[in-house]
Amino acid sequence: MTPAEEDLKAVGREHALDLLRRMMRIRIFERKSAELYSAGKIRGFLHLYDGEEAVAVGAFQAIVPEDAVVANYREHAHAIERGVPLNSVMAELLGKAAGTSRGRGGSMHLFDAARGFYGGFAIVAEGLPVAVGLALARKMSGKPGIVTCFFGDGATDEGEFHEAMNLAALWKLPLLFLCENNLYAMGTALSRRQAQTDIALKARGYGMPALSVDGQDVLAAEAAARRAALAVRRGEGPCFVEFRTYRFRAHSMYDPQLYRGREEVESWRARDPITLFAESLSRAGLLGDAERQAMEREIELEIEKAACFADGAPVEPEEDLLKDVAAGEAG
């Protein structure tokens, strides 16, 4: 048995299949979203997570319901992993009243208060200070659980990232930083934006432990997230995990991708987290072809149902346009 196969055996078949199913669900959900975008049913920006699925799926293994989650505008996967129903996520993408945010926010602004999902922030790095505050509130009020904050490598360019890291470490807050380093912020590579490209090193510089992990390997992502979350739960202050990953598609739906070569994209595609994991499962004899196909069909059906629901759902009436601008005017 190879070490990878040994890992799989240790993880157990049921858990491994669950991880695979979760990644596939995100992939197929977004495939459907892209289709609906092309059909003109989804408009504006649509940032897909294609290629990065192992990060959210791995990380969410370490996140429990009493924790809070803060994410950015590339957050379909995070909402889904948080347990937000597919119907509500899809309805939001289509701008329908049954969406997570009554359809007012669309793809970039998913929110779910009941599930501790705080969004959905589209200005790069603005979620980080918010996460600091959520963690501060937890610490001050003695509320259980930790705060987890997802952001891209691009966010680490911004002053807010550095200020938030310092505050979290200074005040020893229960905050888990989860950096999705896909090597690009839109069309500018990390190496063209930062003189020191070791992001985990920056976290250590602020006085918190930091791990870097292969974000294409769901088991590695899970293990790193679990280790870091455990340290945060012990009250030792913030922790940082950098997931090294790659987005297979354009930044939003379309861009000419002048900023990277086809070969680079292909070499990362060869490390598709879903294919890699499915292959290691079948090599270990844990997953047969027929079983995988059945799984895929089952998920496709689930997603079709969500798309159908969202398509048929009504939009918010125009009379409600001014509701919720201030408290006491609930929509």
Partner 1 sequence: MKYREAVRAGLREALRSDPRVFLMGEDVGRYGGSYACSLGLLEEFGPERIRDTPLSESAFVGAGIGAALGGMKPIVEVMTVNFSLLALDPIVNVAATIRHMSGGQFGVPLVIRMATGAGRQVAAQHSHSFEGWYAHVPGLKVVSPSTVADARGMLLAALREADPTIIFEHAALYPMEGGPVPDNMAVDLSRAAVRRAGKDATILAFGANLWKALSAAEELAREGVEAEVVDLRVLRPLDDDTILSSVRKTRHAVVVDEAWRSFGFSAELSARIMEGAFRDLAAPVARVCSAEVPIPYPKHLEDAALPQPGAIVAAVLATIGSGTAIAHGRV
Ligand X SMILES: Cc1ncc(C[n+]2csc(CCOP(=O)(O)OP(=O)(O)O)c2C)c(N)n1
Three-class SS state of 105: coil
Query: Is the separation of the CB atoms in 179 and 242 below 8 Å?
Result: yes
Task: Enumerate residues 179-198 that contact Mg ion by CB under 5 A.
Answer: 182
Partner interacting with residue 23 (select from partner 1, ligand X, Mg ion, none; CB below 5-8 Å by kind): none
- Identified binder of Mg ion from the candidate list 95, 103, 120, 152, rule CB under 5 A: 152
CB of 43 to Mg ion, least distance (A): 23
By beta-carbon proximity to ligand X, the closer residue of 152 and 174 is 152
Dist CA 30 CA 77 (whole Å): 9
Cα atoms found within 13 Å of the Cα of residue 159, Cβ hemisphere only: 0
51: left (phi over 0), alpha (psi -120 to 50) or beta: left
- If binding is defined by CB under 8 A, does position 39 make contact with partner 1? no
Pairing of strands 184-185, 188-189: antiparallel
- Identified binder of ligand X from the candidate list 79, 93, 131, 185, rule CB under 6 A: 185
Query: Is the separation of the CB atoms in 146 and 176 below 8 Å?
Result: yes
Site string for ligand X, 259-298 (x = CB under 6 A): ----------------------------------------
Phi, psi angles (nearest 5°) of residue 88: -70, -35
Instruction: Spell out the SS3 assignment of 185-229.
Output: ECCEEHHHCCCCCCHHHHHHHCCCCEEEEECCCHHHHHHHHHHHH
Side chain identity at residue 279, one-letter code: E
Partner interacting with residue 74 (select from partner 1, ligand X, Mg ion, none; CB below 5-8 Å by kind): ligand X
- Identified binder of partner 1 from the candidate list 158, 163, 264, 300, rule CB under 8 A: 158
CB of 318 to ligand X, least distance (A): 28
107: Cα separation from own chain's centroid: 13
Dist CA 178 CA 60 (whole Å): 11
By beta-carbon proximity to ligand X, the closer residue of 129 and 145 is 129
Query: Is the separation of the CB atoms in 152 and 70 below 8 Å?
Result: no
Task: Enumerate residues 85-104 that contact partner 1 by CB under 8 A.
Answer: 95-96, 103-104
Nearest alpha-carbon partner for 81 in 30, 122, 42, 11: 30
Q: What 8-state DSSP symbol labels residue 242?
A: E
CB of 193 to ligand X, least distance (A): 9
Partner interacting with residue 316 (select from Mg ion, partner 1, ligand X, none; CB below 5-8 Å by kind): partner 1
- If binding is defined by CB under 5 A, does position 72 make contact with Mg ion? no
- If binding is defined by CB under 6 A, does position 184 make contact with ligand X? yes
Instruction: Spell out the SS3 assignment of 273-313.
Output: HHHHHHHHHHHCCCCCHHHHHHHHHHHHHHHHHHHHHHHHC
By beta-carbon proximity to partner 1, the closer residue of 44 and 144 is 44
Partner interacting with residue 171 (select from Mg ion, partner 1, ligand X, none; CB below 5-8 Å by kind): none
Residue matched to tokens 């009493």: 66
By beta-carbon proximity to partner 1, the closer residue of 27 and 102 is 102
Number of residues that this document lists for the chain: 331
- If binding is defined by CB under 8 A, does position 201 make contact with partner 1? no
Three-class SS state of 180: strand
Site string for ligand X, 136-175 (x = CB under 6 A): ----------------xxxx--------------------
Binding site for partner 1 (CB under 8 A): 43-45, 95-96, 103-106, 108-109, 121-125, 154-155, 157-159, 185-188, 192-194, 255-256, 258-259, 315-316, 318, 321-322, 325
What are the residues binding ligand X (CB under 6 A)?
74, 122-124, 152-155, 180, 182, 184-186, 251
